[in-house]
Copies of this chain bind each other. A is one copy, B any other.
Amino acid sequence: MSFNSFGRLFRFTTWGESHGPALGAVVDGCPPGIALSEEDIQPWLDKRRPGTNRFTTQRREPDQVRILSGVFEGKTTGTPISLMIENVDQRSKDYSNVALAYRPGHADYAYDAKYGFRDYRGGGRSSARETAARVAAGAVARAVIPQVRIRAWVESIGGDRIDYDAFEDAQIDANPFFCPDAAAAERWEAIVDSARKSGSSVGAVVACEATGVPAGWGAPLYAKLDSELASACMSINAVKGFEIGDGFAAAALTGEQNADPMRAGNGGPRFLANHAGGIAGGIATGQPVTMRVAFKPTSSILTPVDTITRTGEETQIATKGRHDPCVGIRGVPVVEAMVALVLADQALLHRGQCG
């Protein structure tokens, strides 16, 4: 199996470069008979869309999705769903500096080392623009598992963390940071503005919760639900860490502190805690599945950084252009999409193996 595909029964393949004519995804294995139209997909793309406020890249892409196959009379047919998004604002700027020298923190050198060759325009295939295709595919995944609610938000920016006591669900979509804590959102405005103005960038942590995941989804041993989620989230550009439940904090606890006791509930146990993040032995317990994803600061900064050219000469590079000062913000809909894609796959796998 090649490498631009993800999933086993519900599987998607993405294609496209930052500055090519279009990008897209083929979603294979979607069950038949599910209502689906472009209107079901577009809102998620709009959520991720660049250029909507001053805290994201100023590249202007309408990101209009077209369904080219797999839907007939408003319903999925069980055959592959081809989704295409045209690139509109791939500004024909001068890429000669990027073509010659490697941008530290970017995949430039690594791609060259692997392929001996790369499409340097806007990062080519390694551009976060590819995540638009994931978001489109993720919208299809959501339609497959309507019983599941997936919700991500930014938990910290540049080390400044929200106060969970101030968590308001409605806040998340009320500010440009997907921030559930109104006070934190105000602080972040200053942080991100400062980074933007100085041509710098900041990192962020995105948290995500999926509720309504039935106990039993997931699969030992190498398709564990947490394994799949980790793989899915680590594949997102700029992600450097993944936690399920208490994550690294659990490593500092004792067994007593980390226990999730159970009492009798309705149609299953009622858990008194959720340190585990809703997964045991790789299988969902029915509790909310909770995770956390670390995004590094955008590598594109105005400050010149030491680097070398393709021919090995020492130089410096400053990355001008239209970049997100905090790439983690737009990571929110991407994390949600990847979680949806994993869960849709696990839903089908579970039904296949345990009927």
Name A189-218 residues within 8 Å CB distance of B. Answer: 195, 200-205, 214-218
CB of A10 within 8 Å of the partner chain = yes
Residues on B with C-beta less than 8 A from A66 are: 21
**9 tightest A-B CB contacts, nearest first:** A107-B281, A352-B352, A159-B252, A110-B283, A231-B231, A261-B306, A113-B215, A201-B255, A203-B251
Q: Is A219 an interface residue (CB 8 A)?
A: yes
Contact assessment for B28 and A296 in the assembled complex, using a CB-CB cutoff below 8 Å: no
Q: Which residue of B lies closest to A276 (CB)?
A: B105
Which A303-326 residues have C-beta < 8 A from chain B?
303, 305-308, 312-314
Q: Which residue of B lies closest to A30 (CB)?
A: B353
A138 interface residue per 8 A CB criterion: no
* Least CB separation from A66: chain B residue: B21
What residues of chain B lie closer than 8 Å to A240, measured between beta carbons? 226, 243-248, 250-251, 276-277
Any B CB within 8 A of the CB of A234? yes
A301 near B255: Cβ-Cβ < 8 Å: yes
Interface bits A1-43 vs B (CB < 8 Å: 1, else 0): 1111111111101111100111110101101110000000000
CB–CB A261/B104 < 8 A = yes
- Complex Cα–Cα for A1 and B348 (A): 12
Interface: A77 (CB within 8 A)? yes
CB contact list, A219-236 vs B, under 8 A: 219-224, 226-235
- CB–CB B205/A248 < 8 A: yes
Instruction: Decide: A280 and B109 in contact? CB cutoff 8 A.
Output: yes
Q: Are A352 and B78 in contact (CB under 8 A)?
A: no
Which residues of chain B are within 8 angstroms of A279 by Cβ–Cβ distance?
110
Please pick, from B108, B124, B201, the residue contacting A79 in the complex, using a CB distance under 8 A.
Answer: B124
A57 within 8 A of B: no
**A9: chain B residues within 8 A (beta carbon):** 2, 9, 349, 352-353
B306:A263 contact, CB within 8 angstroms? yes
A285 CB within 8 Å of chain B: yes
What chain B residues lie within 8 Å of A231 (beta carbons)? 222, 227-228, 230-231, 234
Would you call A56 an interface residue if the criterion is a C-beta within 8 Å of the partner chain's C-beta atoms?
no
Within 8 A of B (CB), among A279-295: 279-286, 292, 294-295
Question: Could you show 8 A-B contacts with beta carbons less than 8 Å apart?
Answer: A2-B9, A3-B221, A5-B11, A13-B80, A110-B280, A114-B219, A200-B255, A247-B294
Please measure, in the bound complex, the distance between the C-alpha atom of A200 and the C-alpha atom of B294, giving whole angstroms.
Answer: 31
Task: Give chain B nearest CB distance to A113 CB in angstroms.
Answer: 4
Whether A262 and B306, one on each chain, are in contact in the complex, defined by CB atoms closer than 8 angstroms, is yes
Q: Give the residues in chain B near A17, CB-CB below 8 Å.
A: 69-70, 72, 79
Known: A124-B79, A314-B263. A8 touches B1 (CB 8 A): yes
Interface: A55 (CB within 8 A): no
Per-residue B-contact encoding for A118-161, CB less than 8 Å = 1, 0 else: 11000011100010000000000000000000000000101100
Is A100 among interface residues, defined by CB-CB distance under 8 A?
no
